[in-house]
Structure 1
Amino acid sequence: MALKSGELADRVLGGWTGRIAGNMLGKPVERGDHWTPERIDRYLRLTDALPLTDYLPPPPADAPAEGFELRPEWPQCVRGRIHGSCRDDDVDYSILGLHLLETRGFAFTTEQVGEHWLLRLPYLQTFTAERTAYRNLANGLKPPLTATYDNPYQEWIGALIRADVYGWASPGDPRRAASLARRDAVLSHTGNGVYGAMWAAALIAAAFTAPTPRTALEAGLERIPASSRLARTVRHAIALYESGVEWSDALAELAERTHGLGWIHTVPNAAVLAAGLLYGEGDFTATIALTVRGGLDTDSNGATAGSVAGVLCGAAAIPSQWSEPLEDRVRSAVFGFDGVRITELAERTLRLATLAG
């Protein structure tokens, strides 16, 4: 299905807006070893915010704070206090990837991804696998050693959160999106860490033309090894949804299936993300709310879920309580991009998508 230019522009803007809104929704409770789904829902009940249909509310002044401490950035990313987006690596990497495609083209190399990091991204704004790869680059190592040398985070979620721009720039072409994401991901990740990036990019590319979230999920699975733990886990999430299992029960079963991998590993987070997309059934608010309520790496999962849902529905269909507080403005640690307009990022991405054709 070919998209008309106006619809394509709306879908690309929907992806950017959805990613930023989903990231902001999940940011206050980003600590999966503490903010479990049960604790998140207790906080929402405490603040009279279930069902969740807006950004997280601030902590009530008269409520006991113990156990419900939000991240330090919470005053800038709770409802009623948002004036543009907070800075976050989940958005920084989308911006960095956009600039990479603009300057290096679709034939970029993994080595050029590394050069771009060193030129544009502050070291202290990198974490886990990315910080290790950055250090390895600075010490003169080349890919794939940058991903494997002294790196215990090779299958964590970092590469997945970098993948969206490759999907936005490849509308309806999951194969190309996955190929681009793979070239980026192998700088810092291996195995399921790389598959997560390929799957996410393909999923987002497929969302431009897919009729349902499930269709997009399955298109993403076609781009990674069927025997990988990531693919098997996502297929299990689809099976639970199709069999009529309630969202909370499905989440519990998926958590048991991925137990022991840790809250920043790609596989359990992909399970939460897949469940949010499936049970959200294409509704933007339901999708990001369920995904964030699923816990683990809440801001990363909320961002990717928002990206997929935003592409599926388009920016015009994203409810105003999510888009208006962003004030069309992004804070970023990427050199030269702090304060950039969301609409400008979308327009630049659209030019790439149109060029790639």
Structure 2
Amino acid sequence: MTSERPGSADLADRIHGGWLGRIAGNMLGKPIEQGEVWTRERIDRYLRKAAALPLTDYLPEPADPADAAVLRPEWRQCVRGRVHGSVRDDDVDYAILGLHLLETYGFGFSTEQVGELWLLRLPYLQTFTAERAAYRNLANGLKPPLTATYDNPYQEWIGALIRADVHGWTSPGDPVRAAGLARRDAVLSHTGNGVYGAMWAAALISAAFTAPTVREALESALGVIPASSRLARTVRRVMALHETRLPWEETLAELTAQTAGLGWIHTVPNAAVLTAGLLYGDGDFTRTLALTVRGGLDTDSNGATAGSVAGVLTGAAAIPARWTEPLRDTVRSAVFGFDGVRISALAERTLRLATAGP
């Protein structure tokens, strides 16, 4: 990166912003986290019925009982006026577990140690798709990389990407280092584009600390994954369409056609939605979260990563209070020993790692 690493006060604010953004974005997207039901069109119909377009806050309560029936059951703790601290979610659990990993084993951790912490700290039924397959394989005595490949049809899904934030937060302005850490974590459960997604996300968050613009952060993140990978080609396509000034809706429509058949939890189409939300959000925290979640697919995971990037770019102090105050500086978590922890405490612990050196 060409810009200097942030000063200590600025770094603290940006790391805190990353945590707050991740949790707020996760909460925004959680009620509609079911991509085959909550299409972009249905999400916008929901918002129009509630007079909530443009979206500038947490989701409104459903105006239609038919919509309420297909929201995730946690929706009552995630909509406007009902948010009193975060709800438990794997998108936040893995950020906490990643922090604990680095505190326990340092930056030289092994993939095997990632697996050990899962077994010690994470309940099996709070894992999903590739992570559950890897967890089962670990419990049955398999070692990486077999944990990722044996009886695991989810190897390129989004799970490794959602685990990557802490590696970006603790390597500010060093996307290559962030990507290397994320790769060591990801190969426990993923292969191919699933691993590249984690490397890309960690590098993107790392680059956001020093890049002058979102586009430059995205360019840096592309530098850590194979240029010929489907993930890299898809992200570049979103960037090219944005550069032509094509409207956001038309960009997503084209990318939907290009990624058809991959499924709503696959890394590649979700990276397209995330990239579009970041570019068309253009550094504005609220607009970035809103566009990313309105893009559909894995809405809570995409909202969380978009919030992390946007929070690092703006810093905690610049995030509008309507997103942060309802969180009450509190996290609910399934990670043993962390339920009820303060968001500010997690940010302080992350800052200590980020300033500790290799």
Normalising by structure 1, we get a TM-score of 0.98
Supply the RMSD in Å over aligned alpha carbons.
Answer: 0.9
The answer to whether the 8 Å contact 1:169/1:356 transfers is no
Structure 1 residues 39 and 67: CA distance shift in structure 2, 3 A: farther
Asked if structure 2 preserves the Cα contact closer than 8 Å seen for 1:129 and 1:158, the reply is yes
Amino acid aligned to 2:319: I
Aligned length: 355
CA distance in 2, matches of 1:212, 1:160: 22
CA gap of 1:342–1:67, structure 2 versus 1, over 3 A, is closer
Matched residue, 1:144? 145
SS, match of residue 73 in structure 1: helix
Query: Could you tell me which residue of structure 1 aligns to residue 44 of structure 2?
Result: 41
> For the Cα contact (< 8 Å) 2:5–2:209, is it kept in 1?
no
Q: Which residues of 2 match residues 335-350 of structure 1 at below 5 A?
A: 335-350=336-351
1:198-213 equivalences under 5 Å are: 198-213=199-214
Q: Does 1:193 align with 2:194?
A: yes
Distance 1:180 1:269 in 2: 22
Q: How does 1:162-241 map to 2 (within 5 A)?
A: 162-241=163-242
Q: Does 1:31 align with 2:34?
A: yes
Alignment of 1:1-357 (within 5 A): 1-60=4-63, 63-65=64-66, 69-356=70-357
Alpha-carbon shift at residue 66 of structure 1 (Å): 5.3
Distance 1:340 1:91 in 2: 12
- AA aligned to 2:241 is L
Shift of 1:59: 1.4
Contact 1:23 1:90 in 2 (8 A): yes
8 Å CA contact 2:155, 2:192 repeated in 1: yes
Amino acid at match of 1:307: S
Question: Could you report, residue by residue, the CA deviation over 1:211-260 in whole angstroms, capped at 9, with x for unpaired residues?
Answer: 11111111100000000000000000000000110000000001111000
The AA in structure 2 aligned to 1:168 is W
The unaligned stretches of length 5 or more in structure 2 are none
Q: CA deviation at 1:70?
A: 1.1
How many angstroms apart in 2 are the aligned matches of 1:74 and 1:68? 10
CA offset digits 1:303-339 (Å, max 9, x no partner): 0000000000000000000000000000000000000
- Cα deviation code 1:107-146 (max 9, x no counterpart): 0000000001000000000000000000000000000000
Counterpart Cα distance in 2 of 1:292 and 1:14: 19
- Could you tell me how far 1:67 is from its partner in structure 2? 7.9
Matched residue type, 1:30: E
Aligned partners of 1:174 and 1:205 also within 8 Å: yes
Give the Cα–Cα distance (whole angstroms) in 1 for the partners of residues 322 and 184 of structure 2.
Answer: 36
Q: Is the 8 A contact 2:30 2:72 kept in 1?
A: yes
Moved more, 209-218 or 298-307: 209-218
Percent identity over paired residues: 79
User: Matched residue of 2:76: which SS?
Assistant: helix
8 A Cα contact 2:5 2:172, kept in partner: no
TM-score (norm 2): 0.98
Deviations 1:273-315 (A, max 9, x none): 0000000000000000000000000000000000000000000
1:64 and 1:288 mapped to 2: Cα distance? 25
Deviations 1:27-84 (A, max 9, x none): 0000000100000000000111000000001113xx3425863110000010100000
Q: Write the letter of the residue equivalent to 1:58.
A: E
CA contact (8 A) 1:58 1:78 kept: yes
* CA shift for structure 1 position 356: 2.1
Distance 1:64 1:85, change over 3 A: closer
Structure 1 unmatched runs, 5+ = none
